[in-house]
Structure 1
């Protein structure tokens, strides 16, 4: 409406047009406004349009704009209608202040004073009273019916459809509504304040997390920068050692070739002299000739009688072994103590430790065993075979490969390096990490002749301490792998006493060493409890979700001690072995210890748990687990009355892993026929790591009957041994079906 009024305003006076006329250029003005403007231009005899500036050589004629006049008239009538005037004022009519719906009159301030003693319900001045009257009885609306949420007249209360309803006056009803609106406004204000507080807390958390991520980013950059520096330094040192050893080998062979060439020349000259003597036919002349140089011949004979010198070869295996050990030390953030380089004095050039006496080497590397004094032996190398001759009882170390043998009497051992790839299956490669060379000992050694063997390995001192429990010596015999725990582990050697020889090496269980340390795994919380005289005793475990054997061991132990398994939601999406979790309970609880650990271990009854003792007066017990340093809960549950009543029973009617297997086996056909919608179940199983995406797609192939889908899934669950995870998912998705099948089993 405002835009319409702007279109009807004159460009000159900015008011609504009064007798609008048009110039030949098409612009409109009030007749008086444009006439006055043209009059001012008579002297110049040039006339211009005030709006567009177009020039006219003669005074332009003014044409009445009929259409615009009609619009102005409509606008003025609309203005007059929108103004409410007093019904009783005659000349001139005064603006009304209020309207009385009952009397159907509008009153100015003067007539309102005379009308007030009637005490009628007045409203703001209006020309429209339709919404103030009852649409049925055409009477003023005086009451409000809360039952129908409607404003009604007196006839509606007495005769209409609202007869017998509890009604209020409009004034009281409006007070009630305003009170409700006030409460709603107060609630919204409090919620707004809570939202602001939450936003502030989240902003603080966001700032903290940004700082954490920034610190982590800076630390990662610093770590990799340091690693690059150390790797560059290591590369320079190793390449320097390679160059030094290469120069020594090349110099050795060059000198040897030069000497042999000189010998070849001497021998060729002697051969020429002998051939000349052969060509002499006169016996007397032949016998009178001087023999070839006897000194040269004697020298050659003496050199031929000498033992042939050992071949000096380029020891790539030792350099690579040292490089691997140095890389391991770098990656575990240790100092480069295993790098085979030392400096004699400040400013002196670097020198290989291979040319140092053994005592200096052990001192530089920190690998000297104070309890044993080994003897260095240089092996005889025949192709790939190393022959180590030990001429007395004692501990001997091969200078080329680093392996040690402690022998009871003089002994000769032959061995060669074998390839792990020839023996390790794909399963072994996934489960174990190679940490030493594989020695194929070819000599048949009498029992008891070798007291111990010392295998050099590639782990740093820190890794040896951390992963000591997972290091194994391995034998390969008749195509089978035999694992054996070593007798002793130190930063340089893995010692195995009374060994049996064949292919011998060292491995570390990679699954436990790496994956459990750096990645998260689905976890499960196990709750066991029983009621004592005055206390509830609860044991809480945090275990890997897929470790059925560990759960069975724990379950057997707890049930044997009279504890009951409490069936509560147990699944935790992510748990880390490197983190510590804290257990919390009611104020009356005593928790020992509060720290709970998530570990990957072999199935044992000594898995860590939290012992919780709570007064038996409690009717509801809240338990939760938090990660150390974090506020949010990774798991929580409520033990209600029925859960606590089960703790006082003499026996537990359920078992955890065994019952799941029995449940699936006994209800196999019923599950095929009655299992609920499959996609949600498959989604939960995939989240828990029971099935993968390809298996899920295969089970959801189109045109596959539900019974066949269920049968295929159950076969897959039984084959994977994942009955427990399947039963937990089924309990969450269709608890009634599980209860029905369990009651049928009983």
Structure 2
């Protein structure tokens, strides 16, 4: 079905702020519901989800990131593809001048014209052309409260696979750090959309099982495609990689995203990783000797006293205020 042009009649003369003028706010969170209290001072972006609002007057906006199968079914029936997070928006009518919705598409050439906005309401989805398409978001002017998200238009979804922008996340842990003969490193590698929301949720989940986020360059050098297999390799021939192939699925809840686990002997001085498609390398990263030493230092506490009979290799510690426990499965 052809897209409907956005209706801009009656738009107020308040200028839409440019992306570089955006302020970042930390939302309150209750269950799945985010909340921001906004004033009409410019464009404010949520630090957890990437959505941004410019309001006409002081107001409160509420929103949830949706992953329900009922939405995906509507997208499939529309013969579109979801290319960004779905947000269920709640705010007073006529209080929001514009909303910037994150999208996952690698914008280049004319392919931005293929991005539409899907409006989900009353069991139906309608599409409209956004007021503006930016490198990482689409702009809607004078939005109404409903569930919205970026879609790859029905005219293009079969002919042109969506070129996604993606990045790699690395989480690492060390098992049996006090026993050299048993010590081993575990690295979890994720491939996710570059603008994926709710990364703090993943950080918390990994921390609870004893894994620390490793800060490394994460951007992928080439386009990534949905339902495509990507291979993880390690220079160490004795490393265990399971599974060796990672399938890119951009629209999963971040807490349910697939990952590859790499297990390396504790005698390793560095861990060199790469991600490849069928043709060439997309990403390369390295945990250096210093990275591994820092990991051990953070996962152990020499001054910690253990109750009688408790092995010092089985303990909890704290990183950034989060109680951690080692992940022993796998």
Range of TM-score over shorter length: 0.3 to 0.5
* Structure having the higher Rg: 1
Q: Which has the higher contact order (CA 8 A, sep 6+)?
A: 2
Point out the structure with the larger strand share. 2
Point out the structure with the larger helix share. 1
